[in-house]
Amino acid sequence: MSRSTKIVVVTLVVGSLAGLGVTFAARIESAVEARREAEKPVEVEPPRVRVEPLARHSIEAKVSFTGTLRAVRRVDVIPEIPGRIEEVSVAIGDHVEKGQLLAVIEHQSLVLAASQAKANRSAAAAALDRAQLDLATAERELERVRELFGRGAASKAELERSQSSVDTARAGLRSAQSQHRGAKAAAGLSADSLGDSRIFSPLAGTVTKREIHVGTQVGLGTLAFEIQDIDELELVGAVTARDFARLEIGQSVEIRVDARPDEVFTGTVKTMSPSLDPATRRATIEVSVANPEHRLLPNQFADAVVVVERTEGVLAVPAEAVVATPEGPDLFTVRDGHAVLARAKLGSSEQQWVPVHGGLGEGEPVVVVGQAELRDGQPVVAADADEEPAS
């Protein structure tokens, strides 16, 4: 290898080594910069919360309970006689008036029996008339014979026969009277049975059950219909002894049912049981509910609320603004961009609004949304009332 060639090779080797050194140094510098960036503290945006100024509200104390709606007037219609149903005049859901015909039991044999009983009563009445006539005739004859006997114109035997005829006529009259009473009673029973073959509604209302059809064989005790007057219902529920003491007859009641969640129905406390159920330790409450449009149904579950006390102008916050702390229920306020526990003195939290008796003044901000995860002293951003805070 010539001297010039060696110089070229050495130059190439040195250049390659220098290039590798520059590349390696660049990589080291890049790694150091990445590590510096990773070690920089991450800036976390403060949570956004919604605040409302502490204001005065109307506070209502309420008693709530659930119960079942039922018709005030309800009756089971049961046939008075056994037999086969010949006619049914109404269907479920029909409105009926008091005394309206509901169904008819086959009664041809009852018609015949009633006719026979009527004839027997007429015959017994005629026999009674004859017996009364026979007695009157026998008594007149006895008087005539007595007069003759007194003048010696009739024998003692004739007098005795006349007396015996009167006794016989009186016995006949007693028998005829007894038969007439029996025939009259039988005719009455037969007529009643014939009348009982027609089933009438005992009250005005709605047919809520129909257990019979044409051809159904019914017996004594068979349920034929259920009639309910659903124009007026009653809600039957139970309350604790503490709530019972806050209720009074005549108080207005707000009633809601799941089937109509957007409607509020009104009732009135009607009766209050003066005794607690030994099993539940609750007292029964009955609430009268007008239902002229039949929007409520018997046997429907319902929720009831009674406002038992109302106080105006109370400093209060929404119940959901209250947070649990080791020291007890409290509120968060915002001061200088930080969430601060107010150490508030709070009243009962049973209702929608919770009274604030101290720790915050009227108009001070109260965190009402986003407070669940806050810490005392944590930086926050207070959102406007119409702005949804970030979750």
Q: Could you list the pLDDT tens digit for every one of the 391 residues in the chain?
A: 555 555 544 455 445 555 555 565 566 677 667 676 656 555 668 888 899 999 998 888 889 999 999 999 999 999 988 888 889 999 999 999 999 999 988 765 555 555 676 767 777 788 778 878 888 888 888 788 788 878 877 788 877 888 888 888 888 878 878 887 876 777 666 555 655 778 999 999 999 999 999 999 888 889 999 999 999 999 999 999 999 999 999 999 999 999 999 999 999 999 999 999 999 999 999 999 999 999 999 999 999 999 988 888 888 888 888 998 888 899 998 998 888 998 989 887 667 888 899 988 898 999 989 888 888 888 988 886 555 554 4
CA distance 235 to 243: 17
DSSP string computed for 67-101: EEEEEEEEEEE--SS-EEEEEE---TT-EE-TT-E
Phi then psi for residue 346, to 5 deg, are -110, 150
Class of domain 50-59+313-383: mainly beta
pTM over 0.75: no
For residue 202, give the DSSP letter: S
Q: Which pLDDT score, from 0 to 100, does residue 391 have?
A: 46
Q: Which pLDDT score, from 0 to 100, does residue 117 have?
A: 63
How many DSSP H helices and E strands does the chain contain? 4, 21
CA distance 341 to 380: 13
Left if phi > 0, otherwise alpha if psi is -120 to 50, otherwise beta: which for 383?
beta
Q: Which pLDDT score, from 0 to 100, does residue 282 have?
A: 94
Q: Which pLDDT score, from 0 to 100, does residue 273 have?
A: 93
Residue 141 identity (one-letter amino acid): E
How is residue 239 written in tokens?
Answer: 């309350």
Element (H or E) spanning 260, and its range?
strand 260-276
Q: Which pLDDT score, from 0 to 100, does residue 41 have?
A: 57
Domain 229-309 superfamily per CATH = Efflux pump adaptor protein, beta barrel domain (2.40.30.170)
